[in-house]
Amino acid sequence: MADKIIRIGTRESPLATWQAKQVQQLLSNNNISSELVFIKSEGDTDLITPLYALGVQGIFTKTLDAALLNNRIDVAVHSLKDVPVQMAEGIVQAAVLKRGSYRDIFVFKQKSALEKLGFIQGVWTNANTATLGNGSGTPSIRIATSSVRRIAQWLHRYPGTVIENLRGNVNTRLRKLDASNWDGAVFAAAGLERIGLRPSNSVDLDWMLPAPAQGAIAVVCRKEDKTTFDICNNFNDAATALCVKIERDFLKTLMGGCSTPISALAIVQDEKLLFKGNVLSIDGSEKFEIEKIVEINEACKLGCIAGEEILAQGAGKIVEQIRNAAK
């Protein structure tokens, strides 16, 4: 194996390249040679259609997975939140890297927008929706995002907001925001921080629950390639792997995908597992949420348990609405 060069498949965006280089460095730390193989995905070439309207899970991963199954590459590196909960047949998760920030952030154009949204002295106060109208019935706040999860949570808190469509890699989205008349846009903190692009005019949305596995990077390989699996599994971060498994189990139990308004976060703290999850209607008008704390040695099935419990609360009707809307 010492003479083998592991081919790392990655998308071409700066963030995807950064992630692949992290894996390349981890392989190097284990005295394994590797090379990057750049592959363009459908999600990169279609920058107009909103993510939720593309009609396929794994829009950013399926091209890499096809290259993996066709033996063009040996491993693929994905943002785990983009990976369907049911991986392609013949592909397995070999490692999850230590998680970065799971937060969503708000990049604003003017500080006046923060005041309207109730961000006072560095703290998000209770939403004051009355400030979002100008008296004529026309909302005075415009924010941009194409994530249905972010849209649903934002509209639940600020129902008077106008939502603008924002697609492209993080560099493209920042440029679009700068050239727009929007008040701001929502981004994943990890995506900007990893490539040194988080603007100073940004604040954490600590009230917004992230997508399952947000901030985590996954390395996948062919199921039959046990050698590559074992090599990558050496740098698997067990705590991150447990947390994202629970979050993705919650998503899977609710029959959701990466383009559904379902959120989840699991954190290991003092030998306990803290879990929060929610599901919202697409317009943000309805919300079901759940919180649980268990001993870490009892946490393996927590995502499924929490999913079943939130369905029993009544979230099933929202899930059914989401399914019908997707047909």
- Tell me: the pLDDT tens digits for 191-237? 999 999 999 999 999 999 999 999 999 999 999 999 999 999 999 99
What are the beta bridge partners of residue 221?
75, 92
Q: What are 91-110's pLDDT values in tens digits?
A: 999 999 999 999 999 999 99
Q: Are 306 and 277 in contact (CB under 8 A)?
A: yes
pLDDT at position 145 over 50: yes
Question: What is the token pair recorded at 267?
Answer: 């954190």
pLDDT, residue 160, reads 86
Catalytic sites, residue numbers: 82
Annotated domain spans of the chain: 1-99+216-236, 104-204, 238-320
pLDDT, residue 168, reads 87
Length of the chain as a residue count: 327
Q: Are 299 and 305 in contact (CB under 8 A)?
A: no
pLDDT band of residue 43 (cuts 50, 70, 90) is low
pTM of the model: 0.90
By the 10 Å C-beta count (0-12 exposed, 13-18 middle, 19+ buried), 125 is classed as exposed
Q: What is the CA radius of gyration of the chain?
A: 20
pLDDT, residue 53, reads 43
Q: In the CATH scheme, what is the code of domain 104-204?
A: 3.40.190
Q: What is the mean pLDDT of the chain?
A: 89
CATH assignment of 238-320, among 3.30.470.20, 3.30.160.40, 3.60.40.10, 3.30.70.20 = 3.30.160.40
Query: Mean pLDDT: which of 43-47, 124-128, 208-212 is highest?
Result: 208-212
CA angle 68, 74, 79 (to 5 degrees): 70
Q: What are 170-183's pLDDT values in tens digits?
A: 999 999 999 999 99
Tell me the C-alpha to C-alpha distance, in Å, between residue 249 and each of 230, 278, 292: 24, 13, 14
More confident residue, 311 or 133: 311
Mean pLDDT of 111-115: 91
Q: What are 295-316's pLDDT values in tens digits?
A: 999 999 999 999 999 999 999 9
- Distance separating alpha carbons of residues 76 and 265, to the nearest angstrom: 24
The strand ranges marked E within 172-261 are 184-188, 202-204, 217-222
In the chain, the N- to C-terminal Cα span, in Å, equals 47
Considering only 29-33, 158-162, 188-192, 220-224, which range has the smallest mean pLDDT?
Answer: 158-162
- Residue with token string 């100073």: 200
pLDDT band of residue 58 (cuts 50, 70, 90) is low
- Give percent of the chain with pLDDT exceeding 70: 87
- Distance separating alpha carbons of residues 21 and 13, to the nearest angstrom: 12
Q: In the CATH scheme, what is the code of domain 1-99+216-236?
A: 3.40.190.10
Considering only 50-54, 67-71, 150-154, 284-288, which range has the smallest mean pLDDT?
Answer: 50-54
Output helix, strand, coil percentages for the chain, rounded to the nearest 5: 35, 25, 40
Collect all residues with Cβ–Cβ distance below 8 Å to 161 and sequence separation of at least 6.
132, 139, 141, 142, 143, 154, 155
Is the fold of 104-204 the same as that of 238-320? Answer: no
- Distance separating alpha carbons of residues 182 and 141, to the nearest angstrom: 8
